[in-house]
Structure 1
């Protein structure tokens, strides 16, 4: 009787060990083998999610074949997975998915802030980025946001992003000011930022900016008014920097803090957020005695040293405008 019971016990033990071993091997196979995902998928893991919640999300998205083997495999490897948005390729194994989340290899979103936008326009772009979270909060001062392409993750904070832009501009301006040319008619970094914003709005051609900057600097030296259309537009557009109509003579004569037709010197504040190229142009202008410029019909400008020469350039530009309207 005892011998029979012993034999039965040994048989059951062997079966149990075999079942455990088979289960472990099968679980390991399911954890390391290619998964069931038929095509790439994106899964968002919320902050504070535990292992079970993560496993259920992955299983619901079809990334892993089952919840149990993923939980066991993750616990054995003592992996700590991070919240975020993850793009998983087709047939990714549960182990590779775990490793991707443990390393925090989240989806990277790009947000490009072009040069020459106003703070209000930048804030509108930031709000339109639906992968960001939170409010912009207090608006930075005009001109103090550095235009760049920002690499971001889902749920990055909008106010924090605006703060990063402002910090980057302050650093860029500090570096540019420290390396400035000598004998410029601007005395502070803030004045350099103001003039750079005007240059930014006057021309989109990087190669032309040092010459445009030189014209304005030459005018400042001689006590001439800058007479820049974008400064007038800024004051009339409540800081948006765009008008839906051409400027009129009355617009040019209307005094406000930015109208450089009606005031001496620089406008009261920047009129946009300039890029590094415009900062460099103001602080390292071209060598020229030009005092005027006007559009030349090619996307650039015709420069002139005298008013007579400038008037001829203006007349030529008006002919081009009339020809275009006639088409």
Structure 2
């Protein structure tokens, strides 16, 4: 009899082990399997939230099949205590394992509302926008001039939300004076900038910020980024360039940046100035003359006068030899790389071609013909 009981107990234990093992295998497969989401969602995780609350929210949004299994999986992988606050994009069909990774890996929020302070060459703006999870694109909620007295209610509202993201977006070709002036309008930042940074020393880019960050620290980040870009580009520069230092490369890059808004043209524009320097020709570029007039403190807003083109100033490249004494704007990475790795051409002239780009020429006769075509286009536009 005891032998029979022992045999049954052993059988029960074996079956139980198989059941437990099978259950574990099922749970592991279910935890890593494709989820039920038909479309991406934006998951908000408030500060002080718990994995239990997150799992309940995911069940409500039909993103997971089991809140308990989601919590057990997070516990089993030791990630429960790593939960981060923010707004996170959960893609369609995301598994429970993938969602746990999304809400615990840290870093900036990946969806929700963001405020972008744009500093452009001709104007500055503040944009309030929200990510549409279905398309992965941001939808503009409000846009306004930071100097305006009337601030949209939408902006006031998102400034009160804890998960709002903030960025400062610096356009290529802005001057250091413009950057400092416009950062003064960013109410998410604190502190003052005592001195205007050296022209050309700030890297145009998009910078994530947090309310309470200082303007001086952001300026330092921009400077470190530009130093790294310039250092890398200088180390990988083409041979035989008529540029004695990274500083001279930065000056040339700023001229290239201001001369064309067509990204594909930068290497060609750079080649024109490199060829002119190699042939001891004056650069004869309007943007340097304009900088000498405005000191980078604004847009000239009119054409250059003949007296200004003849004036002997440090920035008048129609009069001086070689490069001006400083950059004339903050060039982006592409302009710096173009200045240090220009296209191999024999071009020494260029003029607008009416399409937003330029017509390039190797000889004065070719250039004069291009200029004549441009004058005709200008006259036809004026007559419309």
Q: Indicate yes or no: 2:370 matched with 1:313.
A: yes
Structure 1 residue 280 displacement after superposition: 0.6
How far 1:242 moved relative to its partner? 2.2
Instruction: Note the alpha carbon deviations across 1:189-244, whole angstroms, 9 max, x for none.
Output: 00000000000000011110000000000000000000000000000112236212
Q: Shift in Å at residue 103 of structure 1?
A: 9.8
Secondary structure of residue in 1 paired with 2:351: strand
Q: Which residue of 2 aligns with 1:237?
A: 294
Mapped partners of 2:107, 2:189: distance in 1: 21
How far off is 1:321 after superposition?
1.0
Match of 2:304 among 247, 261, 265: 247
CA deviation digits over 1:243-266, x for unaligned, max 9? 121111111111211110110000
The aligned counterpart of 1:4 is none
Secondary structure of residue in 2 paired with 1:132? coil
Q: Which residue of 2 aligns with 1:121?
A: 178
How many residues in Structure 1 have an aligned counterpart in Structure 2?
246
Q: Provide the rounded CA distance (Å) in 2 between the counterparts of 1:175 and 1:255.
A: 35
SS across alignment from 2:377 = helix
1:184, 1:217 within 8 Å by CA — same for their partners in 2? yes
Listed as ranges, the matches of 1:1-327 within 5 Å are 106-240=163-297, 242-327=299-384
Contact 1:233 1:241 in 2 (8 A): no
Whether the aligned pair in 2 keeps the contact of 1:230 and 1:241 (CA below 8 Å) is: no
In the aligned structure 2, how far is the partner of 1:278 from the partner of 1:123? 22
Q: Could you report, residue by residue, the CA deviation over 1:123-167 in whole angstroms, capped at 9, with x for unpaired residues?
A: 123222221111122211011000001111111110110111011
The CA distance in 2 between the partners of 1:324 and 1:158, in whole Å, is 44
SS of corresponding position for 1:128: coil
Task: Kindly indicate whether the alpha-carbon contact (under 8 Å) linking 1:290 and 1:303 is maintained by their aligned counterparts in 2.
Answer: yes
What is the DSSP-based 3-state SS (H/G/I as helix, E as strand, rest coil) of the residue aligned with 2:221?
helix
262-271 or 123-132: bigger deviation: 123-132
**Distance in 1 (alpha carbons) for counterparts of 2:239 and 2:86:** 51
- Post-superposition CA distance 1:42-96 (Å, at most 9, x none): x9x9xxxxx9xxxxxxxxxxxxxxxxxxxxxxxxxxx9xx9xx9789xxxxxxxx
Would you identify which runs of 4 or more consecutive aligned residues in structure 1 move more than 6 Å?
85-88, 102-105
Q: Let me know the Cα RMSD of the aligned residues.
A: 3.0
8 A contact 1:107–1:154 mirrored in 2? no
SS of the residue aligned with 2:184?
helix
- Give structure 2 stretches of 5+ with no counterpart: 1-42, 49-80, 89-102, 110-162
- Name the structure with the higher helix share: 1
**Paired residues of 1:118 and 1:240 also in contact (CA < 8 A):** yes
* Secondary structure at the counterpart of residue 109 of structure 1: strand
Alignment partners' CA distance in 2, 1:87 and 1:288: 50
CA drift of 1:104 comes to 9.5
Q: Quick check: which has more Rg, 1 or 2?
A: 1
Distance 1:198 1:141 in 2: 16
Find the aligned partners of 1:143 and 1:302 in 2 and give their Cα distance. 27
Confirm or deny: 8 A CA contact 1:117 1:241 kept in the other structure.
no
